[in-house]
Chain A
Amino acid sequence: MNDRVIPWFVAIIACLLGACSEGAWNNPYPNGEKASNVIYSSFSERPKHLDPVRSYSSNEYQFIAQIYEPPLQYHYLARPYKLIPLTASQLPQVRYLDAAGRPVSRERHEAIAFSEYIVSIQPGIRYQPHPALARDTQGNARYLHLNAEDLKGVHVLGDFTMTGTRELTAADYVYQIKRIASPYLHSPIAGVMREYIVGFDAFREQVGARYGNSPKGVWQDLRDIDFAGLSVDDRYTYRIRIHGEYPQLVYWLAMPFFAPMPWEAEKFYSQPGMEERNITLNWYPVGTGPFMLTENNPNLRMVMEKNPNFHGEQYPVYGEPQDLENGLLDDAGKALPLVHKAVYSLEKENIPYWNKFLQGYYDASGVSSDSFDQAIQFGSQGDIQLTERMQAKDIQLETSVRTSILYMGFNMQDPVVGGFSERARLLRRAISIAVDYEEYISIFANGRGIPAQGPVPPGIFGNIEGEAGINPYVYDWVDGEPKRKDLGEARQLMAEAGYVNGIDQASGKPLVLYFDTPGAGPGAKAHFSWMRKQYQKLGIQLVIRATDYNRFQEKMRKGTGQIFQWGWNADYPDPENFFFLLYGPNAKARHGGENAANYQNLEFDRLFEQMKNIENGPVRLEIIREMTRILQRDAPWLWGHHPKAFSLFHSWYKNVKPNLMANNLLKYKRVDGELRDRKRAQWNRPNYWPLVILLLVLLVSFIPAAVGFYRREHGTLK
C-alpha cells in the first residue's frame, strides 16, 4: 500500500467504525448503555442558573429539583396537592405571637404580629460527594484554601481528585435563606420574602456594609451576620419568624429556594481562579437529593446519576383510587430513585426531537403544534384519542389541565375600557361575550385548553366546577354544560353602554380599541386577524399594537396599554397565588406588582386579605366565591383559558402521572430497559437499499458522459 492510500484507508475505516458499530446506525447514544436503567430526555435551552437561590424556571428546576432538597415536597400521587416532609421529619410547626412575642391562638388574627415556623430535619442525611467537602487525613478541609499553584491543571470540577461529604444540618437551611436575602445574589424571591421574614432588610444592610466594598470573588461569609427572623435551635432544628400571617410560606418551603446550602460550597467556589475556570456554584450544584449532576455540558448534554449518599426514600404507598388500576402503585414502597441515571440531550428544534421520540430515543415527549396531527385525533364525540400510528407503537397519552391561566386584561386606568363606571363595565362584559374562547382554543391550541370562568384553574382550591362555577355574565348553563351567551346579548350591552353597533353615541364615531401584544411575525398574523374579527362582531375596530416583549412589559409597567394578553403559572397550589394578580396593592403601574390590569376594588382587596390567611374550608370557599363574583361582575379580565398539557410516553416508561406542582419527579420514574431495546431495534433497522440504488443511478448517469468523453478523445476530425 503506498503512502497516498494509507490516510484514505484509515479515514474510511474510521467512518465505518463510527457508522457501523453494533446496534442501530441511527442510535445517538453509546451502545454500552443497552438495556440499562437509564432515562433519556431532552432540554431545549441552556439553563441560566443552577444555583437554587436564583433558579426560577421550569427548565432549571428540571435539573436542580433532583439535586437540592428543600424541607418539604408534594405527594407524588395524592390529589388535591398535598405537602409532605422531604428532609423534614414532619410538617413545620407554626406558633403565632403577638407584638410582645407572647403566644396567641391562631383564631385571634388581629392579635397576631408574628408567625414562627419551626422546621425539624431528619438526622443522618448526607451531601453528595463533592470536593468542597473533602478532608485530608488530619481532618482539614482539602480544597478550601487553594492557591494558583493548586489550580494548575484544573479545568472542570472533576479535576479535583478528592471528594467528601458531611451531614446536613439545620444551619445549612438558614445559610441558604440568608443567601436569598443577600443583595449580591439577586434572588428573584427576595422582593417577596422581604415583606414577610423579620429582619430581612436589616440583614441586607449588614451584608452591604460588610461586603459592599470588597473586591469581586471574595467569599461573603453570611454565617455570623445576624438575621432577626432566623435562628438555629439545635443541629436539626431551625425556625423562621415572619411578620403577621403568611400560611403560603409552607409552599415556598417546598421550592429549591429553601434547599440547604453548605457554606463550604460557597467558600470553595469563591476562591481566586475558580470563576475564571467557570467553576461556580451556578454551574456545579451540590445537594443531598437522589441525583447529582455528573456531566454538565448544557451546550450538548446534561447527565445526572444516582447520588451514592442519598438518604433513601420510598415510593408512595397510596394515591388516588384509579392509581392502583393504572399501575401507579406497582412500585409502592420501593426504594427511590428507581433509575440510576438520566441523560438529557440538547434538542433545540421540535422536528428532530419528535422524530427521535418516535424512534424510541426519547422516553417521553410533549405534543407540539407541528406534530399534533400526527399524534392526536378527535373521536366522533370530540374525545381525544391517539392516532393509529401512535397506538401501533403502544405510545400512551396523558393529559392534564395546567395550573395556569392565559387571560386578556383591560387596563383599569384607561378612560375608555377601565374604571368602575357602568358604561365601562357593560363594555367589558359585552367584549367578554363576543370574544369566543371556545373557538380560540379550537383554532390556536388544537383543543388543548378549557375556557376559564374565573382566575382559579381546576385542581386548585377555589375552582368550582359545574353550574355553580360558571361566569353568569358570559355563560348560561344549558344541557349540563356552559354555553356562551348569544351575541345579541353582547350587542344589547353595547347599546346600553352607549355604543350602538360600535358607534360611540356621544361622539358619533366608531369605537376604536387598542390591543397591546408582544406577539409578532407571520405566526401571529392569524391570531391578530381572529382577534379583530371578535371585536368586529360588536362593531368595534381593534387596532393591534404588536411590539417586542421588552416594550410590551414597559407599557404594562407604565400602565399605558389598553387591552393586553398575558398569563400566569402557579407558584403553589393556593388560590392566593391567582387572586393576588388582581389585588389593588399589587397594581403594576402604581406599585410595580403583578396586577397588570391595575384593578383596585376595595371590597375585593378586603376579602383577599381575609382569604389569604385562613385554611382551606367552607369559610374560605365562601369568601372565594364572593371574590369571584366581584371579579366576574367587574370583568377586569376576559378570563381566557386554562391550557391543557398533553404528554406522550412509550410503553417502557413507567409511573407517569402529571404533577404540576412537584419538580422532583425523576426519582419516581422507572424504565423497562429490555423492552426499550427490543422496540428500538425493531423500529430502527437501517434501510440502505435506496442509497445503493441511488449510487447505481448516479454511476449509470455517468456512462453517457464517459462515452462522450471517449468518443471525443478518440474521434477523428471530419
Chain B
Amino acid sequence: MIAYIVRRALYAIPILIGVNIITFLLFFVVNTPDDMARMFLGQKHVTEVQIEDWKTERGYHNPLFYNAGAEGLDSFKETIFYTKSLRLFVFDFGRSDSGRDISFDISQRMWPSLAIAVPQLLIGLLVAITFALLIAFFRATYIDYWAVVICVALMSISSLFYIIGGQFVMGKLLRVVPISGFESGIFGIKFLILPVLIGVVGGIGSSTRWYRTIFLEEMNKDYVRTVRAKGIAEQTVLFRHVLRNALIPILTGVVVILPLLFMGSLITESFFGIPGLGSYTIDAINRQDFAIVRSMVFLGAVLYIIGLLLTDISYTVVDPRVRLS
C-alpha cells in the first residue's frame, strides 16, 4: 500500500503544476499586475510611478512566463510564475498582496469553516441515512412515492433560497436564533444552529435519494433474500446487513469530501458572516489578491487529491477483498 501511496503522490505533482498554470493563466487573463496595483493603491490620485513601485516591491514587475531580458535559466526564473508558484510545492504560501501571512490566516480561518461543515456533514449523514432506510423499507408504497417527490422538490431549490428563507423564518419570524454572526466558545453554539440546519435541510433531498438507491440495490441482492428466508427481523436485515454492505459507496462518497470541509462554503459564510476559508477565498477574488487566490486553489487541489487517495484507502478498510497495488 505504501508503494501505491507514494506513486499516487508522485502522480499528484504534474496535476498540481497543471492546476497552478491554469490558475495563473485565468487570473492574469482577467487581471494584469497593473490592475492589481490600482486595486491595492485605490482609485484616486494614483500615479504610474506608484504603480511601478508597488509592482517592483511585490515582484509583479517581471514578465509572466518568460523573461526575454534574462539569460539561460534566468529567463524562466525571473518571471512572476516561477517566483510566485514554486514555493507552493513546499506549502510556503508566503504573504498576501496586502502583507498578511497566508498560512497564519488559513490556520485561523479553517476552524469556523469546520465548525459549520463537520456538524453539517455528520447530522446530514445521520438524517439522510435514516430517511433513506425508512423509505427503502416502505419501497413501492405511498410513503416511498411521496418521499421521492419531496426529495426531488428539495433538490430543486437553490441553496440561496434555503439561506434567505431560513434566516427569515428562524431568525426574523420565530426569533429563536441570531440571523447571522459568529462566536467561538459555548456562546457561539447558537450561531451554528441555523447554518447547520440549513445545510442539512438543503442537502437532505439529494443525499436521501442517493442513499435510497444504494439501499434498494442492496436489498435486492441474494444474501438479503437468504437472510429474510431465515426469518430474521426486518430491522436486523436493514441495520446489520443492508446498512453495513451499503456503507461502501456511502463511505467512499463521504471520505472524498472530508478534506474539502476545510475549504468552507462561499455562500453560507458570506450570508452568515462566518469568518471561514470560503469567505477568505471570495474576498481575495474580489480584491484581486493573487497570492491568496493561488494558495487557496492549490490547497483545494491538494485536499482533493488527498480525498481521492483516502477514498481508495477506505475501500480496503471497508471491503477486505479490495487490495491496492
Interface residues in chain A, defined as those with a beta carbon under 8 Å from any beta carbon in chain B: 14-15, 17-19, 21, 24-28, 30, 45-46, 48-49, 56-57, 183-184, 186, 188-192, 275-278, 280, 282, 297, 299-300, 345-349, 351-352, 355-356, 358-359, 548, 550, 553, 571, 592, 594, 684-688, 690-691, 704-705, 708-709, 712-713
Q: Is the CB of B189 within 8 A of A300?
A: no
List the A side residues contacting B98 at CB < 8 Å: 48-49, 282
List the B side residues contacting A57 at CB < 8 Å: 42
Interface flag for B222 (CB, 8 Å): no
Q: Is the CB of A278 within 8 A of B186?
A: no
Q: Is the CB of A280 within 8 A of B99?
A: yes
Interface centre among B53, B98, B173, B180 (most CB of A within 10 A): B180
Interface flag for B54 (CB, 8 Å): yes
* Distance between A631 CB and nearest chain B CB, rounded to angstroms: 21
Q: Is the CB of B270 within 8 A of A19?
A: no
Complex CA gap A705/B146 in Å reads: 12
29 residue pairs bridging A and B, Cβ less than 8 Å apart:
A18-B187, A25-B190, A26-B171, A26-B179, A28-B178, A28-B180, A28-B181, A28-B191, A48-B40, A48-B98, A188-B44, A188-B45, A191-B45, A191-B46, A277-B101, A282-B98, A299-B280, A300-B273, A346-B273, A348-B270, A355-B179, A356-B180, A553-B38, A684-B175, A686-B175, A687-B173, A687-B176, A690-B174, A709-B234
Complex CA gap A277/B167 in Å reads: 37
Interface residues in chain B, defined as those with a beta carbon under 8 Å from any beta carbon in chain A: 30-32, 35, 38, 40-42, 44-50, 53-54, 57, 95, 98-101, 104-105, 108-109, 134, 137-138, 141, 143, 164, 167-168, 171-182, 186-191, 193, 233-235, 270-273, 275, 279-280, 283, 287
List the A side residues contacting B234 at CB < 8 Å: 709, 712-713
Complex CA gap A49/B143 in Å reads: 58
List the A side residues contacting B193 at CB < 8 Å: 15, 19
Q: Is the CB of A571 within 8 A of B176?
A: no
Q: Is the CB of B45 within 8 A of A345?
A: no
Complex CA gap A189/B43 in Å reads: 11
* Distance between A298 CB and nearest chain B CB, rounded to angstroms: 9
Interface centre among B30, B175, B188, B189 (most CB of A within 10 A): B175
Apart from A28-B178, A186-B41, A708-B143: 19 A-B pairs, beta carbons within 8 A: A17-B189, A18-B188, A19-B190, A19-B193, A24-B175, A184-B57, A191-B46, A192-B45, A278-B101, A299-B275, A300-B275, A348-B271, A349-B270, A351-B164, A352-B180, A550-B31, A553-B35, A705-B138, A708-B141
* Distance between B224 CB and nearest chain A CB, rounded to angstroms: 15
Q: Is the CB of B50 within 8 A of A345?
A: no
Complex CA gap A49/B190 in Å reads: 32
Complex CA gap A192/B186 in Å reads: 51
* Distance between A7 CB and nearest chain B CB, rounded to angstroms: 13
List the B side residues contacting A45 at CB < 8 Å: 283
List the B side residues contacting A553 at CB < 8 Å: 35, 38
List the B side residues contacting A686 at CB < 8 Å: 174-176
- A713 contact from B47, B177, B182, B233, Cβ within 8 A: B233
Interface of B is mostly: helix
Complex CA gap A713/B280 in Å reads: 53
Name which residue of chain B comes closest to A348, CB basis.
B270
- A688 contact from B45, B53, B101, B176, Cβ within 8 A: B176
Q: Is the CB of B143 within 8 A of A704?
A: yes
Q: Is the CB of B143 within 8 A of A355?
A: no
* Distance between B211 CB and nearest chain A CB, rounded to angstroms: 17
- B283 contact from A46, A276, A277, A278, Cβ within 8 A: A46
Asked, given contacts A280-B99, A550-B30, A705-B138, whether A300 binds B182 with beta carbons under 8 Å apart, the answer is: yes
List the A side residues contacting B287 at CB < 8 Å: 48
List the A side residues contacting B174 at CB < 8 Å: 686-688, 690-691
* Distance between B108 CB and nearest chain A CB, rounded to angstroms: 8
List the B side residues contacting A685 at CB < 8 Å: 175
Q: Is the CB of A276 within 8 A of B101?
A: yes
4 closest residue pairs by CB, A with B: A299-B275, A18-B189, A191-B47, A550-B35
Asked, given contacts A26-B171, A278-B101, whether A592 binds B48 with beta carbons under 8 Å apart, the answer is: yes
Asked, given contacts A191-B46, A276-B101, A299-B279, whether A25 binds B143 with beta carbons under 8 Å apart, the answer is: no
* Distance between B172 CB and nearest chain A CB, rounded to angstroms: 5
* Distance between B228 CB and nearest chain A CB, rounded to angstroms: 12
List the B side residues contacting A359 at CB < 8 Å: 172, 175, 179
Q: Is the CB of B189 within 8 A of A14?
A: yes
Complex CA gap A183/B24 in Å reads: 29
Complex CA gap A21/B189 in Å reads: 11
- B180 contact from A186, A347, A550, A691, Cβ within 8 A: A347
Name which residue of chain B comes closest to A683, CB basis.
B175
Q: Is the CB of B175 within 8 A of A687?
A: yes
Complex CA gap A188/B275 in Å reads: 29
List the B side residues contacting A592 at CB < 8 Å: 47-48
* Distance between B188 CB and nearest chain A CB, rounded to angstroms: 7
Name which residue of chain A comes closest to B167, CB basis.
A352
Complex CA gap A553/B100 in Å reads: 27
List the B side residues contacting A687 at CB < 8 Å: 173-176
Q: Is the CB of B177 within 8 A of A19?
A: yes
List the A side residues contacting B35 at CB < 8 Å: 550, 553
Complex CA gap A594/B174 in Å reads: 52
Q: Is the CB of B273 within 8 A of A355?
A: no
* Distance between B161 CB and nearest chain A CB, rounded to angstroms: 12
- B279 contact from A188, A275, A280, A348, Cβ within 8 A: A348
Q: Is the CB of A349 within 8 A of B271?
A: yes
List the B side residues contacting A19 at CB < 8 Å: 176-177, 189-190, 193
* Distance between A270 CB and nearest chain B CB, rounded to angstroms: 13
Name which residue of chain B comes closest to A280, CB basis.
B99
Complex CA gap A57/B31 in Å reads: 22
Q: Is the CB of B175 within 8 A of A25?
A: yes
Q: Is the CB of A14 within 8 A of B38?
A: no
Name which residue of chain A comes closest to B180, CB basis.
A352
Q: Is the CB of B44 within 8 A of A56?
A: yes
Q: Is the CB of A355 within 8 A of B171?
A: yes
List the A side residues contacting B41 at CB < 8 Å: 186, 188
Complex CA gap A347/B279 in Å reads: 12
List the B side residues contacting A184 at CB < 8 Å: 53, 57
Q: Is the CB of A15 within 8 A of B189?
A: yes
Q: Is the CB of B190 within 8 A of A18?
A: yes
* Distance between A55 CB and nearest chain B CB, rounded to angstroms: 9
Complex CA gap A24/B177 in Å reads: 9
Complex CA gap A48/B182 in Å reads: 22
* Distance between B237 CB and nearest chain A CB, rounded to angstroms: 11
* Distance between A28 CB and nearest chain B CB, rounded to angstroms: 4
Name which residue of chain A comes closest to B54, CB basis.
A186
List the A side residues contacting B187 at CB < 8 Å: 18, 21, 30
Q: Is the CB of A355 within 8 A of B172?
A: yes
Name which residue of chain A comes closest to B273, CB basis.
A346
Name which residue of chain A comes closest to B282, CB basis.
A348
Name which residue of chain B comes closest to A190, CB basis.
B50
Q: Is the CB of B176 within 8 A of A27?
A: no
Q: Is the CB of A188 within 8 A of B101?
A: no
Q: Is the CB of B273 within 8 A of A18?
A: no
List the B side residues contacting A280 at CB < 8 Å: 99
Q: Is the CB of B99 within 8 A of A356?
A: no
Q: Is the CB of A691 within 8 A of B270?
A: no
* Distance between B281 CB and nearest chain A CB, rounded to angstroms: 12
List the A side residues contacting B38 at CB < 8 Å: 550, 553
Complex CA gap A504/B224 in Å reads: 83
List the A side residues contacting B101 at CB < 8 Å: 275-278
Asked, given contacts A352-B180, A352-B273, A356-B180, whether A594 binds B44 with beta carbons under 8 Å apart, the answer is: yes
Q: Is the CB of A548 within 8 A of B279?
A: no
Q: Is the CB of A186 within 8 A of B53?
A: yes
Asked, given contacts A28-B181, A183-B53, A709-B137, whether A571 binds B44 with beta carbons under 8 Å apart, the answer is: yes
Q: Is the CB of A355 within 8 A of B167?
A: yes
- B134 contact from A30, A192, A705, Cβ within 8 A: A705
Q: Is the CB of A351 within 8 A of B167?
A: yes
- A26 contact from B42, B134, B177, Cβ within 8 A: B177
Complex CA gap A277/B108 in Å reads: 12
* Distance between B218 CB and nearest chain A CB, rounded to angstroms: 18
